[in-house]
Amino acid sequence: MFENTTFCITTFGCQMNKHDAERLSGLMSSLGSVPVQTNAEADFSIFVTCCVREKADERLMGTVATMKNDPVRPGSPFGKRFVAIGGCIGQRDGQKLLDQLENADVVFGTHNMEALPHLLQEAIEGGMRRAELVDGRAEFHDDLPEDREHPWAAWLPITVGCNNFCTYCIVPYVRGRELSRPIEEIAQQAQAYVDAGVKEITLLGQNVNSYGRDLYGEPRFAQVLDVVSKTGVERIRFATSHPKDLTDEVIERFATLPNLMPALHLPAQSGSNRILKAMNRRYTVEHYRELIEKLRKVCPDIALSTDIIVGFPGETEEDFQATYDLVNEVGYNQVFTFIYSKREGTPAAEMQDDTPREVIQERFDRLVDLVQRNAERLNLEQNQAGVVLPVLVTGASKNDPSILAGKSPRNQTVHARVPQGMSASDFAGSIVDIRIDEAHTWYLWGTML
Ligand code: SAH
Ligand code: SF4
Ligand code: F3S
């Protein structure tokens, strides 16, 4: 049924979705369908969706609606393109999506990706337009085959779901309760990746720091880092960390595990205790600052990044100023700034929200400006000209195949010219030494040694 067909996967949202997309790709490939780059060439257009903010919702609706009149691909065995929607919007909206998007054929959710083939089969054979969802699962599952985007980099989910219920956030409703994967399985999977040539493993979870609570009755993320480190993989990263569960044990691993990269994403969301409380974040800004201090003590050159929400319901100028001060004092290498977006069904959607849009936008712009200035300063300070960094090459720079792009241990983008007669792709997946010549706001420029 799927032989001689083609599929294109479009992914929105977080790393968990990127990993899910790699597994959906693996699943479709294992049935004989062939991945293609564009929807125009595809018999099956598959969307892995995100609903964390309104913009993400709008992007999906817009993209699918505009595909309505696109011609089917030449040689299509069906005379029709099938549109399948999965991921977080699929989980949230189910059947409603089929009512809203007349060219959508199939909807599935975050807990039942394996339903895609039979749903497509019913659509092909019986013209059925159907949504199939399950509420959640009792155990961790990660057993679909995967087509990894880069053979040298792997996402390794250690938990799925979230129990935190930050009041603004839809994720716990669409991803279900937190489930941890047994530590032996994580170790085995990590070893299999290393044996297959993977250089960088990124451990994934909505809150990796609470890993193990459901399985072992206590958090065991530090032990996960230990077993993954023992595989000898070159680079370990992880996302995301919740400040309330970041333990001293985990912090100390930044000093003791040579392959744990000196970079940490630690979402603060706000610098105001009043807002943190209303967000149900369950830490204070004092505690957050203490964590940063400890981290810098054990790993002075650590690159820190964070997420900040501007315009949470009831945010005053004073609250915003506290956030601004926190961002300024910590000095992040990168800050992901978001304007609060109301999500139906979350507690914050019921909170009084009367700050004018323009005021929020002005605060947002002020913060973005600060972030840029700080990133530039930090990049210059941390990367003095002449320093040599091991860079994991990801491929060619977008505009020029003779320039390579890669990542430093602190996860900064590094560019350098490749030697005459060679192309950047010759180095993809290897770690090369690059001497830094210049630091710019969002990248470093250097010379390959
Ligand atoms: N589990 C991770 C990431 C969750 S979503 C964590 O807790 O850090 C990624 C980011 O999106 C969040 O950190 C938050 O800053 C932002 N976000 C989530 N819901 C939002 C909303 N309703 N409006 C604006 N930003 C939101
Ligand atoms: Fe959302 Fe909070 Fe869970 Fe992160 S920890 S996914 S922000 S509820
Ligand atoms: Fe979006 Fe779902 Fe991730 S809502 S941020 S894709 S968990």
Q: Mark whether 254 and 366 lie in a shared domain.
A: yes
Instruction: Tell me the CB-side half-sphere exposure of residue 189, using CA atoms within 13 A.
Output: 21
What's the pLDDT score for residue 383? 78
Q: Mark whether 27 and 72 lie in a shared domain.
A: yes
Ligand nearest to the CA of 269: 1
pLDDT in tens, 9-56: 999 999 999 999 999 999 999 999 999 999 999 999 999 999 999 999
CATH code (residue 168)? 3.80.30.20
Please indicate whether residue 16, judged by its CB atom, sits closer than 6 Å to ligand 3: yes
CATH code (residue 397)? 2.40.50
Q: Mark whether 81 and 98 lie in a shared domain.
A: yes
Q: Mark whether 173 and 301 lie in a shared domain.
A: yes
Q: Mark whether 243 and 206 lie in a shared domain.
A: yes
Q: Mark whether 96 and 234 lie in a shared domain.
A: no
Please give the model's pTM, rounded to 2 decimal places. Answer: 0.95
What's the pLDDT score for residue 167? 98
**Which of 13, 77, 20 is closest to 44 using CA atoms?**
77
Average pLDDT over residues 219-237: 98
- Calculate how far, in angstroms, residue 52's C-alpha sits from the geometric centre of ligand 1: 7
Query: What is the number of the ligand 3 atom nearest to the C-alpha of 49?
Result: 6
- Name the average pLDDT for the chain: 95
Query: What is the number of the ligand 2 atom nearest to the C-alpha of 269?
Result: 7
- What is the tally of structural domains in the chain? 3
Of 80-89, 354-363, 434-443, minimum mean pLDDT range = 434-443
What's the pLDDT score for residue 305? 96
> pLDDT tier at 142 (50, 70, 90 boundaries)?
confident
Provide the β-strand partners of residue 10: 47
Best residue for ligand 3 mutational test, from 9, 17, 344 (most atoms within 8 Å of Cβ): 17
What's the pLDDT score for residue 441? 82
Count the neighbouring beta carbons within 10 Å of the beta carbon of residue 152.
20
Q: Give the full edge-to-edge strand order of the sheet including 263-265.
A: 263-265, 303-310, 334-339
**Which of 155, 296, 161 is closest to 228 using CA atoms?**
155
What is the extent of the structural domain holding 28?
Answer: 6-132
Average pLDDT over residues 361-381: 92
C-alpha–C-alpha distance, residues 442 and 337, integer Å: 16
- Calculate how far, in angstroms, residue 406's C-alpha sits from the geometric centre of ligand 3: 26
Is residue 55 in a domain?
yes
- Calculate how far, in angstroms, residue 52's C-alpha sits from the geometric centre of ligand 2: 10
Please indicate whether residue 239, judged by its CB atom, sits closer than 6 Å to ligand 3: no
What's the pLDDT score for residue 144? 86
pLDDT in tens, 163-197: 999 999 999 999 999 999 999 999 999 999 999 99
Average pLDDT over residues 252-281: 98
